[in-house]
Structure 1
Amino acid sequence: MAPAVISWPAAASADIYRYEDPEGTLHFTDAPTDKRFKIFMRDIKKDRKLRTVFKLPGYARNPAEFEPIIAAYAKEYGVDSSLIKAVIHAESGYNPNAVSRKGAQGLMQLMPKTAQGLKVNNSLDPSDNIRGGVRYLRFLLDTFKGNESLALAAYNSGMGSVAKYGGIPPYQETQDYVAKVLSYRNNYR
């Protein structure tokens, strides 16, 4: 399959939304008509105005800016940096300001209660969020004796679900999540 090349006219100004269907095809739009579309790229002019009015940090445009943070915590907690990048990619698309409908926040989409337990003071701070997320991944990997698939399933649907089913839960979202993260991890290697 040939890689997609997307370009926008310089004068264009709109948020861009993205959705990946079950077959792996990416769909982009500036006018989402389906709740499966998630923000992919903010309108730069509107984004600057929002940051000025609400004092919000900027949106990541380049995943490489998080490389030093990822490398440091990968080393500290002994977690493969490719796996960390894959989780960040799947969870937030490298948007440090991402907040899910369920309340998960930041690059690694930590739920407030989980973040609190990991001593994450600010889930929207990239370093704090990645530290907490990697620490949680390390815990899950240890809990599931290094089994990345089970650790990822627990990251997505909770340890209780994995324990209840004795493996990856039969939830389509969780099964898709594990496959997607492992695929991304292989691409980051």
Structure 2
Amino acid sequence: MGRLVASGYQMNTQIKDFRFEALIQETAARHEVDVKLVKAIIRAESYFDPNATSRVGASGLMQLMPATARQYGVTDIYSPPQNIEAGVRHLKYLLQRYPDNLAHAVAAYNAGEDAVDRYRGIPPYRETRNYVKKVLKFYARSGS
């Protein structure tokens, strides 16, 4: 990890990460998804805040949209076990849908599969392009 600890930001993120470490590890392993990718998604989505809510209605650690949460049987979107379970299952689905392109799977997690399919790649949305860069940067820094 870098030397951003002086600002407190990196240290704070690591502490939050540790709170959910066992849950993330177990869920990622059970679904055969790289735990470092799951952590990169969570970091980009909510900075490990289980109560995070976006302006568009995505909620919880993995920022699930209500329809996605329902699709995976989530009854409490802010519950870390339910949110991570559904988020990892959805991420696995996207990784299987875009098996040779991690960036496309990550873009679909943010913008949806329809957008990635329509543009035959990462959609030209500034938010999605920045999101993909951020997730891949976090993933690379994790030693993947």
Please give the TM-score of this superposition, normalised by the length of structure 2: 0.89
Query: Greater strand percent: which structure?
Result: 1
Structure 2 residues without counterparts, runs of 5 or longer: none
State the Cα deviation string for residues 125-184 of structure 1 (Å, max 9, x = none).
111100000000000000112421111100100100000010111111111100100110
| Structure having greater relative contact order (Cα 8 Å, sep ≥ 6) | 2
Structure 1 residues without counterparts, runs of 5 or longer: 8-17, 19-40, 42-59
Q: Distance in 1 between matches of 2:57 and 2:97?
A: 25
Partner of 2:75: 121
Q: Does 1:178 align with 2:132?
A: yes
**Aligned partner of 1:110: which letter?**
L
Q: Distance in 2 between matches of 1:163 and 1:62?
A: 34
What percentage of residue pairs aligned between the two structures are identical?
43
**Aligned partner of 1:172: which letter?**
R
Query: Greater helix percent: which structure?
Result: 2
Q: Distance in 1 between matches of 2:120 and 2:71?
A: 25
Q: Max radius of gyration: which structure?
A: 1
Over aligned residue pairs, what C-alpha RMSD do you find? 2.0
Matches within 5 A, 1:89-128: 89-128=43-82
Partner of 2:6: 5
**Aligned partner of 1:65: which letter?**
R
Q: Would you say how many aligned residue pairs link Structure 1 and Structure 2?
A: 139
Partner of 2:27: 73
Q: Does 1:188 align with 2:114?
A: no
Partner of 1:137: 91
Which of 106, 109, 113 lines up with 1:159 in the alignment?
Answer: 113
